Amino acid sequence: MQKLAGRADEVVAGSFDLVIVGAGFAGLYMLHLARRMGFSAVVLEAAPGVGGTWFWNRYPGARCDVESMQYSYSFSDELQQEWHWSERYASQPEILDYANYVARKFDLFRDIEFNTRVLAATFQEDDCRWVISTDQGVQYRAKWCVMATGCLSAAQIPNIPGLKSFHGHVYHTGNWPHEPVSFAGQRVGVIGTGSSGIQVIPEIAMQAGHLYVFQRTPNYSVPARNRPMDAEYESSWKAEYAERRKKARAMSAGILWDQGDKSALAVSPEERLQEYERRWAAGGTGIMAAYSDLLQNADANETVAEFVRGKIRNVVERPEVADLLVPVDYPIGAKRTCADAKYFETFNRENVTLVDHRGSPIQEMSSNGITAGSEFYRLDSLVLATGFDAMTGAISKIDIVGRRGLNLKEKWLNGPNTLLGLMTAGFPNLFIVTGPGSPSVLTNMIPSIEDNVQWIADCISHISEEGADFIEATGPAEETWMGEVRKAAEGTLFVQAKSWYLGVNIPGKPAVFMPYAGGMPAYQRICEEVAADGYRGFAIG
């Protein structure tokens, strides 16, 4: 890239049609589409490589929980035909290889600036351009700015007194080192029993001298039953990819699975049990699709929650430990249901201790260990599986200033407002991929990303053809959409758990259910109607 002389303290990298922030699946596809539509674009990425989530989350055991045949791009039939997934649920290294393969295949690397963190983005009203500043002292100008910064990319370090005084190694699952980590013979602590904790705990237990699992809230988890890819299964998908992808997009979560259409309460207890057993044996989170009302009706939900509790009790040999591992005070699925590989079995090992500290926060860390529930545990290493400042975290870390000096972080102080999760009023020509107010994290993310990116590309094309300078969400349309987002959540059990969907895992973050729970088909239909109606609810000028 040609760098021009800029202000004394910043190099100006020139002007582009689009600046895209982030080189995960969203940023990569945005770059590909922008190029195909004839726009100049650059991707700015903080990491030294592509892949986003799959670049950063390198902890042992990391893998997807949507089947690989579906957790992949659908935009290129050539790509989906030639790529081979080796397992039912791909591991992190394989998904990262895939992201690199895609970037090479579509010649994307040449327009990505790595090791470049975006610090600020400011809208210039006079010429409707975004000015984007980076930690490399380089400034970029663009008509369009696309935040492809990820829903789960801002790792959350808990505020544990004395954490910095600990002399051992501290790792966060969401920012795992590139070099191999050995826990052999060590006394290791893991804080957190969400999806990341549930994947990493069995792996560390196999290496560590002793593993202490610090649990604040027990989680529902189902066996993934991962296995090598079945050749026939893969061929059946490849033979019908287009048709199956279409069917998947017609399902609420964007996943083609065996979705039951009856209420769990409309069948006999015997039939229900048989159905849950069948799905449990098949593995994966498809058990939550057994009936139509498991995420809406508390009584229906209790039938599957109780089934899973029973399974946990069967696996965990010591009843007093099982009691602590069984979630009782929130519905299954209200936090993301985890898929595991022998998670509960891990607590039968002699070298694993469950430290349940619900009701009392971890007291402190010292140079050689941790105090929780008034007990001291000597540790050599600590793993934080403590999650993310989800959906708004990565965007809020950037100083984004729109019209009349409006700061996005301040605008979102009481919770994020967007129109369709795609744009926010006061910030013209700024798009967000899978932003708050879109179904995003409640769905198979790659098709959701593809649909959002396609919408953004079409929109940019349309505005450019019109010869207009900007498009911007209007306040009233945004308010109406946020009402829809609230209404969709109220009809579900999601709001009955303290989860990152609501932001309550982050001290001081307002409790607002952020994703749109109305399902992927309804959302996509609305997005298409809005565009067809001349971008209803958006101002164009």
Chain contacts with ligand N01 (rule: CB under 6 A): 64-65, 152, 158, 173, 191-197, 199, 216-217, 336, 339, 362, 385-388, 441, 500, 505
> By C-beta, is 57 or 215 nearer to ligand FAD?
57
Tell me the sheet residues that pair with 351: none
How do 471-473 and 538-540 pair as beta strands? antiparallel
d(CA 510, CA 46): 27
Question: Given candidates 226, 444, 505, 524, which one binds ligand FAD under the rule CB under 6 A?
Answer: 444
If one asks whether residue 57 binds ligand FAD (CB under 6 A), the answer comes out as yes
Residue 197 interacts, among ligand FAD, ligand N01, none and using kind-specific CB cut-offs from 5 to 8 Å, with ligand N01
CB of 437 to ligand N01, least distance (A): 17
d(CA 397, CA 58): 23
Q: Where are the alpha helices (DSSP H) in 241-382?
A: 241-249, 269-282, 298-315, 319-325
Residue 252 interacts, among ligand FAD, ligand N01, none and using kind-specific CB cut-offs from 5 to 8 Å, with none
> By C-beta, is 99 or 294 nearer to ligand FAD?
99
Q: Which amino acid is at 141?
A: R
If one asks whether residue 337 binds ligand FAD (CB under 6 A), the answer comes out as no
Q: How far is CA 190 from CA 196, 255, 379, in A?
A: 10, 31, 10
Q: Is 40 exposed, middle or buried (0-12, 13-18, 19+ CB in 10 A)?
A: middle
CB of 201 to ligand FAD, least distance (A): 14
Residues in the chain: 541
Hey, what are 473's tokens?
A: 């969400």
CB of 350 to ligand FAD, least distance (A): 29
Phi, psi of 375 (to 5 degrees): -105, 145
Part in contact with ligand FAD (CB under 6 A); list of ranges 151-159, 359-367, 411-419, 510-518: 151-159
Part in contact with ligand FAD (CB under 6 A); list of ranges 25-33, 224-232, 370-378, 523-531: 25-33
> By C-beta, is 160 or 449 nearer to ligand FAD?
449
Question: Given candidates 133, 149, 424, 499, which one binds ligand FAD under the rule CB under 6 A?
Answer: 149
CB of 418 to ligand FAD, least distance (A): 15
Residue 149 interacts, among ligand FAD, ligand N01, none and using kind-specific CB cut-offs from 5 to 8 Å, with ligand FAD
How many other CB atoms are there within 10 angstroms of residue 180's CB atom?
7
If one asks whether residue 152 binds ligand FAD (CB under 6 A), the answer comes out as yes
In DSSP notation, 497-515 reads S--TTTTTTSTT------S
> By C-beta, is 214 or 538 nearer to ligand N01?
214
If one asks whether residue 248 binds ligand FAD (CB under 6 A), the answer comes out as no
Displacement of CA 440 from its chain's centroid (Å): 8
If one asks whether residue 62 binds ligand FAD (CB under 6 A), the answer comes out as yes
How many alpha carbons lie under 13 Å from residue 31 in its C-beta half-sphere? 28
Q: How far is CA 265 from CA 134, 262, 300, in A?
A: 55, 8, 6
If one asks whether residue 100 binds ligand FAD (CB under 6 A), the answer comes out as no
> By C-beta, is 118 or 370 nearer to ligand FAD?
118
If one asks whether residue 26 binds ligand FAD (CB under 6 A), the answer comes out as yes
Question: Given candidates 18, 21, 408, 493, which one binds ligand FAD under the rule CB under 6 A?
Answer: 21
d(CA 74, CA 352): 42
Part in contact with ligand FAD (CB under 6 A); list of ranges 20-28, 32-40, 478-486, 532-540: 20-28
Nearest CA to 22 out of 46, 48, 56, 53 is that of: 46
> By C-beta, is 117 or 313 nearer to ligand FAD?
117
If one asks whether residue 421 binds ligand FAD (CB under 6 A), the answer comes out as no
d(CA 291, CA 258): 10
If one asks whether residue 445 binds ligand FAD (CB under 6 A), the answer comes out as yes
How are the residues of the chain apportioned to helix, strand and coil, as percentages rounded to the nearest 5? 35, 20, 45
If one asks whether residue 501 binds ligand FAD (CB under 6 A), the answer comes out as no
| 102-141: contacts with ligand FAD (CB under 6 A) | 117-118
If one asks whether residue 34 binds ligand FAD (CB under 6 A), the answer comes out as no
Phi, psi of 372 (to 5 degrees): -140, 140
Strand positions, DSSP E, 58-186: 112-113, 118-124, 129-134, 138-147, 169-172
Annotate each residue in 187-216 with x if it binds ligand FAD (CB under 6 A) or - if it does not, as one string.
---------x--------------------
Hey, what are 311's tokens?
A: 């399974």
Displacement of CA 512 from its chain's centroid (Å): 17
| 296-335: contacts with ligand FAD (CB under 6 A) | none
CB of 310 to ligand N01, least distance (A): 22
Contact residues for ligand FAD, defined by CB under 6 A: 21-27, 44-47, 52-53, 55, 57, 62, 64-66, 71, 117-118, 148-153, 196, 394, 397-398, 433-434, 444-445, 449
